[in-house]
Amino acid sequence: MAARAVKHVNGSRFMMAGCRLAVTAELFSLVFALLFVEGAPVPVHLCSANRRRFLQVAGASVLLCGASAETHASEVEDDLVYLLNDTHIGEKHPADSPVPTHLRQVVSELVTRTRRPAGVIVNGDLALKDGQLGDYRHFAKLIQPLREAKVETHLTLGNHDHRENFYEVLKDLRLESPAVESRHISVVETRHANFFLLDSLQKTMVTPGTLGEQQLKWLEKALDAMKTKPAIVVTHHNPRLGGDPLHFPGGLIDSEPLWEVIGPRKWVKAYIHGHIHDRGYAEHQGIHILNTPAISYVADASKSTTGWTTARLAPGGVTLTTHTTDSEHPWNGQTKQLAWRAG
């Protein structure tokens, strides 16, 4: 079967919603659904088959998740995205310790919602410390209810992750010919914005991150091919621009080259990161820099806390709501409204 639609945008060629690819994905689903880890099936389609497509930019493909015709508005809130980061799941964490408990908390909230969000992004540091296979098996088991509830879940990697071990467990996320060699990247389309999920893992256990020249080149082309909607860049590491300079040494080394790409592209509106295990809002060249809270733990509970963020998108901006794991915390339910820069 031929691809359902081929669009030409600014000379770049997209292959959108390929039926053939969807069928292939279904087959993979059947194969991988037979694999079990510690009694629980390995999550196969974090991005379900009917939303899974491949964006062709510069001869390479990248996983693209977006709303499909099969998704009914009554089932999905297409303007809502959940933002999680720094889950730090270890193989041997006792079930009742805060780390897996906090993640289970948001997972159970997600699966009991009457309408699913457009997507859930877990922005890096999925694993406890150095990305052991067992950490990813435990992580996979914890997020398995999301797959069963058809909640689209998208993952990035952080400095406590190990790319090979991650792919070893979450096998379906490895692409045969990735857009950028040795980097796990994807694009998530939602009604009001496209999310570009980048991979800033330089080396496991090395605190600062990098994107690298190849990934930046890819980003440039991908952004140009999708300029009709606001773009939001999602990366585990904080940039070394805007925000608190105290965190710059452990942040993204190639922040300046990144800003040379996203600064002049006025449809890029925000940059979301974790890594710091705190909450903060900053701005550089009109691009909002959102530091979202860690779900696992914080360094100083008197100054910060654990939780997750929901982003309610509108054509001109976003409303962010903090959800703390301690329902009594003063940050719980706090909202922040941000307007997009012009252009």
* Binding-site ranges for Zn ion (CB under 5 A): 86, 125
**Orientation of helix 255-262 relative to helix 213-225, angle to 10°:** 20
Q: How many Cβ atoms from other residues are within 10 Å of residue 291's Cβ?
A: 24
CB 187 within 8 A of CB 232: no
Q: How far is the CB of 232 from Zn ion (least distance, A)?
A: 21
Is the CB of 134 or the CB of 250 nearer to Zn ion? Answer: 250
Q: How far is the CB of 296 from Zn ion (least distance, A)?
A: 7
Is the CB of 99 or the CB of 193 nearer to Zn ion? Answer: 99
What is the DSSP code string of 186-243? EEEE-SS-EEEE-----STT-SSB---HHHHHHHHHHHHHTTTS-EEEE-SSPBSSSS
Q: Report the chain's C-alpha Rg in angstroms.
A: 19
Is the CB of 116 or the CB of 184 nearer to Zn ion? Answer: 184
Is the CB of 194 or the CB of 235 nearer to Zn ion? Answer: 235
d(CA 250, CA 120): 26
Is the CB of 194 or the CB of 238 nearer to Zn ion? Answer: 238
Question: How far does CA 67 lie from the centroid of its chain?
Answer: 16
CB 18 within 8 A of CB 4: yes
